Structure 1
Amino acid sequence: MTTLNLNELFDVNRCQHSVDAFALFFYFPIGLVLAVLRIFIGCHAFLIACVLSKLSSVRFYVLRVMCMVLGVVVKEEGETNRDRSMKVIVTNHVSTLDHLAVDLVLPCVLPGVWDLPKKLNWALGIRDFGVKQGRDVLIQNVKRYLRDSDLPVVVHPEGATTNGRKGLLKFSTWPFSLDHSVQPIVIQVNRPLGFKIAVSVIGSRWWSDLFCFLFVPFTLFTLRYLPVMTKHTEEDVEEFTKRVQVSMAQELGIVATNFTCADKVEHAKRILNVSPYIPPAHQNAQPRIPSTSAIPNITDLASQVKEVLPHVPLEVIKKDLATTKCIDTTLTRLLEGTVIFTPESVSSHPPKASISTPSTSTACLEDKSTASDSLFSTPSTAAQTFGTTAEERMQSYQDRKAQLIETARRRYKEKHKMV
């Protein structure tokens, strides 16, 4: 079996070749005007779709001509395999307009999950069969609809679009659980040379795909009918589903994979949510003290800040760390006066090494008291002015930080001389 990577099933960029990008550069003004004109024509086509019956022959011809003007051209192949009595149509999924292309030649409805007005759903060929309520409800509602309606249901069992060039996603089994034979249709989408813009890319929105349809000169949908397929008595739903998938893949000359639409979602997340690369030079430009994400114990972090700013109450430090999650940010906020606090008195935090003994004289205690006052007096490091540029503010912060570290070093030396 051919090994196929998941990323080969999807396009990431609209233009796959530089030649196409070069041609589009000169075509862009024309394409933009063409897209605007087609938007107005599309509004008229929408009104016609709302007014005329879906089974009306007038609607069939008018809409097909108007869609050709809009740049959507549909071509049918293998019409000898087409069975008009079939109630379930299954197709591969390559673009947001697949069901509309089928609807132009074979009026049908598509099970949808969009909360749209009834008229809009009718014009787009979308019907709510209770998909949000679960698989069982969906199957029951579709079976009931097929009994009472003449319009078939078109289903994209892949559940997500692919580029249609390498493989098919694994089919969902629910369309093959309806106790009906299915009419497989394979869809291929092509655009003229020089306008090979991908009809769908990872992370694209429906409106961006639609704009591309209106922008390029035309898009050709080729619908190829395959023979009707019926579930055999000896096979279960899973086997029937796989047989249809393999048959359609062989017709397209691609692979029937076991990747699901959920795999595409995860693949899209990996592509669209990649963390930006930070060069090593920028990573090492400013050494940072570990943040709370690396050291979850805020008490330990607060102790580190307390060593540099002993006059700041510990509770104030903890409260700010809980907000900033970063020691550097908390130090900056405290130094620049962003956080308002009342400095602690010296008596509330006596040095552990200065415990007096009964033999200590009064004169010695007085000397120690004077030394302690000098030891715990912290020079003012508040910024006199706020820098107008980031470089000035950083330099001011570094200067004040160095001053505080030097003061802490001096206090440490004096403390040990005092004991």
Structure 2
Amino acid sequence: MPSNSSDIALLFHRYRLLINWRLFFLFLYSPLGILLILLRLSLAFQLFLFSCFVPKQCPIKRRLFKLTYNVLGISVSAKGKENRDSKAKILVSNHVSVMDHCALESVLASYEVENLDSNSTFTWFWRCKKFGNNSIKVEDILDGIREYCNRPGFFPPPLLFFPEGHTTNGSYGLLSFSQEAFQVDQPVQPIVVRAERPFFSVAISLLDSWWLTDLLWALFVPITFYHFETLEIMYPVSGETPQDFAKRTQTAMAKALGICATDYTAKDKETLQKGGGENRTSSDSFDSELVHQVKEVLPHVPTEAIQRDLARTHSVDLTISNFLEGTIEFIPERNYSKLPPPEEEKNHTPHSSKRKKLPSPSLSPSNSGGGVSFSKSAQDRHLSFQERKKAFLEDARRKYIEKRSIQLETPA
């Protein structure tokens, strides 16, 4: 579980692209990507017209959708179909992109329930289901959903809810679930979705991106993979509140995804989007501080690689250990090969002949703050911060060179 305000920033991407060698190939691909946008928009419009006249539960429609989506750059895979229960009229899914419902439609026909805050044009385009006869009262909407689910002799497509209310990056945690789907006295069928773009590392959604921008990027890249997994149906327990039912479902879905179930809400994301408040400032300074600590020890490791591993470990010590042990692959920065070896640095340090040999500092994984612990002896306390820092660098480089057998170039 998150323990401080900075953790919420880990749920979202801030930048669409990472600064790495793949940008060169993305630049070369750009003309083809723009052409794909134009062709795919035309195909998407024809697909929408076709969907308006064909029932949702038609098997031919789903097969055609899956084939067409591959042309649109959406590859869909599904597992856990044996868990699908027709008794469940309510589906709940995590939310990673504006294309989630579109991708799910190719494997399971459903109606997305229109949100009161949804854009009317967008919900019309996706043919979302609206309840409550244009009423803005939540109870009227819930009554409409109950009537839809309990209609005798009627087997309609299930209703799809995204209880998080906003998209996340899907790699750290789930936002707290809203309670609408859990207030209609119906069992729910959880469906978890994972999405990835393997070629250019283009983020699927951002903290403050517009849905149309996300859609255009989806049409621009060669392909986006969506992986759906249907979990076992979940029933409300006698005496359980809708809030507890929602939390239990959120926890089960987070476990299936291998991430955490947070208490942050959609409103917390909206606060973060505005750029004001303490959360964003705290997050930026917190992340920068951790990256800076790792960068001081391992200057040859790209900043983007450090950020990705910190988002997973949340510990400076563990991240440094991962790089030193070679468990994470990366391309060293260009200026790394120009760094002098530890012996060369020591010989060029002023007054080096008067210094005593420094004890090798060690990482302390038990340190929850991600700091570094040094010897507390009287001999070391008189050393300056810069001297201890150099000792840490020498020790880290020595371990890294021994592990990866890297030969550094000695400056002429």
CA contact (8 A) 1:99 1:110 kept: yes
Aligned residue number for residue 152 of structure 1: 158
In structure 1, how many angstroms separate the alpha carbons of the residues matched to 2:87 and 2:108?
A: 11
Q: Secondary structure at the match of 1:163?
A: coil
How far 1:187 moved relative to its partner?
0.5
Aligned residue number for residue 97 of structure 1: 99
How far 1:128 moved relative to its partner?
1.8
How far 1:27 moved relative to its partner?
1.0
Q: Are 1:135 and 2:141 counterparts? A: no
Aligned residue number for residue 14 of structure 1: 16
Q: Are 1:107 and 2:109 counterparts? A: yes
Is the alpha carbon distance of 1:61 and 1:260 closer, same or farther for their aligned partners in structure 2, counting shifts above 3 Å?
A: same
Aligned residue number for residue 3 of structure 1: 3
Q: Are 1:222 and 2:197 counterparts? A: no
Aligned residue number for residue 39 of structure 2: 37
In structure 2, how many angstroms separate the alpha carbons of the residues matched to 1:188 and 1:135?
A: 30
Aligned residue number for residue 84 of structure 1: 86
How far 1:91 moved relative to its partner?
0.4
Aligned residue number for residue 408 of structure 1: none
Equivalent of residue 201 in structure 1, options 183, 193, 206? 206
CA contact (8 A) 1:50 1:123 kept: no
Aligned residue number for residue 186 of structure 1: 192
In structure 1, how many angstroms separate the alpha carbons of the residues matched to 2:176 and 2:47?
A: 35
How far 1:230 moved relative to its partner?
0.7
Aligned residue number for residue 271 of structure 2: 266
CA contact (8 A) 2:2 2:262 kept: no
Q: Secondary structure at the match of 1:18?
A: coil
Is the alpha carbon distance of 1:236 and 1:215 closer, same or farther for their aligned partners in structure 2, counting shifts above 3 Å?
A: same
Q: How does 1:238-253 map to 2 (within 5 A)?
A: 238-253=243-258
Is the alpha carbon distance of 1:256 and 1:181 closer, same or farther for their aligned partners in structure 2, counting shifts above 3 Å?
A: same
Q: TM-score, normalised by structure 1?
A: 0.61
Aligned residue pairs total 272
How far 1:226 moved relative to its partner?
0.8
In structure 2, how many angstroms separate the alpha carbons of the residues matched to 1:191 and 1:204?
A: 17
CA contact (8 A) 1:88 1:155 kept: yes
In structure 2, how many angstroms separate the alpha carbons of the residues matched to 1:20 and 1:135?
A: 48
In structure 2, how many angstroms separate the alpha carbons of the residues matched to 1:160 and 1:115?
A: 13
CA contact (8 A) 1:50 1:122 kept: no
Equivalent of residue 260 in structure 2, options 248, 252, 255? 255
In structure 2, how many angstroms separate the alpha carbons of the residues matched to 1:116 and 1:237?
A: 28
Alpha-carbon displacement from aligned partner over 1:300-343 (angstroms, at most 9, x marks no partner): xxxxxxxxxxxxxxxxxxxxxxxxxxxxxxxxxxxxxxxxxxxx
In structure 2, how many angstroms separate the alpha carbons of the residues matched to 1:26 and 1:231?
A: 53
CA contact (8 A) 2:62 2:105 kept: no
How far 1:16 moved relative to its partner?
3.1
How far 1:135 moved relative to its partner?
2.1
Is the alpha carbon distance of 1:115 and 1:253 closer, same or farther for their aligned partners in structure 2, counting shifts above 3 Å?
A: closer
Equivalent of residue 126 in structure 2, options 124, 127, 130? 124
How far 1:121 moved relative to its partner?
5.4
Amino acid at match of 1:62: L
Structure with bigger gyration radius = 1
Q: Secondary structure at the match of 2:256?
A: helix
Equivalent of residue 170 in structure 1, options 167, 176, 201? 176
Amino acid at match of 2:143: Q
Q: TM-score, normalised by structure 2?
A: 0.62
Aligned residue number for residue 53 of structure 2: 51
CA contact (8 A) 2:192 2:230 kept: yes
Is the alpha carbon distance of 1:24 and 1:271 closer, same or farther for their aligned partners in structure 2, counting shifts above 3 Å?
A: farther
How far 1:241 moved relative to its partner?
1.0
CA contact (8 A) 1:89 1:183 kept: yes
In structure 2, how many angstroms separate the alpha carbons of the residues matched to 1:132 and 1:209?
A: 31
What root-mean-square deviation, in Å, do the aligned CA atoms of Structure 1 and Structure 2 show?
2.4
Q: Secondary structure at the match of 2:91?
A: strand
Alpha-carbon displacement from aligned partner over 1:337-360 (angstroms, at most 9, x marks no partner): xxxxxxxxxxxxxxxxxxxxxxxx
Please list every run of 5 or more consecutive structure 2 residues that lacks an aligned counterpart in the other structure.
Answer: 282-412
Q: Secondary structure at the match of 2:274?
A: helix
Is the alpha carbon distance of 1:271 and 1:9 closer, same or farther for their aligned partners in structure 2, counting shifts above 3 Å?
A: farther
How far 1:12 moved relative to its partner?
1.0
How far 1:20 moved relative to its partner?
3.5
Q: Secondary structure at the match of 2:131?
A: coil
Percent same amino acid among aligned pairs? 34
In structure 2, how many angstroms separate the alpha carbons of the residues matched to 1:224 and 1:41?
A: 28
Bigger RCO of structures 1 and 2 (CA < 8 A, at least 6 apart):
2
How far 1:115 moved relative to its partner?
6.4
How far 1:46 moved relative to its partner?
1.0
CA contact (8 A) 1:94 1:188 kept: yes
Q: Secondary structure at the match of 2:106?
A: helix
